[in-house]
Amino acid sequence: MSTESFTGNTGHWDQGLSHMSVRPDGTKVERIWQQNVPYDTWISEANPYLKTEFTTITNAAGSNSKTLIKDYTYDKNGNVTSVKEYDWVAFSSVPRDAYGFIIGTGIPAGLQPIRVTTNTYYNDTPDASDSTTDDPNVYTKPGGPA
């Protein structure tokens, strides 16, 4: 049986987003979400995007064993600009709070990616995490490129 865990009716920007999936084989996928807030707007809770994904497999005893990490970067138009992929790490090395939730970026300190895929676009825009830079190529601008 598969299960999905998501943020319930909290009134926060991440309400309803899937934070964890558990597959029938015990594989667990956990997610960290971030916001893509347009520049100079009254909207403060907009455009969530998947920032980091953790895929954990179990050992023969059914305990969480190894975790694979992918960290994504997007531009203001929602385009993936890079994907950093990390090798399998011990499940216990992923930083968690007392309740078992991933804290911070979730990427263990000092861990280096084994692969980085970078995408560029003709009409580039600032990083999705940047809410202070104005840019005419952003989709929210009248006359911005299609």
User: What average pLDDT does the segment 64-88 reach?
Assistant: 96
pLDDT at 91 over 70: yes
Of 15-19, 56-60, 138-142, give the lowest mean pLDDT range: 138-142
The answer to the question of residue 137 being in a domain is no
Please enumerate in sequence order all residues whose Cβ is within 8 A of that of 3, keeping only pairs 6 or more positions apart, or say none. Answer: 21, 22
Please determine, for residue 106, whether its predicted confidence score (pLDDT) is greater than 70: yes
Question: Does residue 38 contact residue 130 with C-beta atoms inside 8 Å?
Answer: no
Number of domains in the chain: 1
Residue 112: CB partners within 8 Å, gap ≥ 6?
Answer: 86
Report the alpha-carbon distance of residue 45 to residue 50 in Å, rounded. 15
Mean pLDDT of 21-27: 95
Residue entry with tokens 């009716």: 9
139 occurs within a structural domain: no
Arithmetic mean of pLDDT, 102-131: 92
Cα–Cα dist 112/136, whole Å: 34
Question: Which structural domain, as residue segments, surrounds residue 38?
Answer: 3-118
Residue 52 lies in a domain: yes
Q: Is residue 145 part of a domain?
A: no
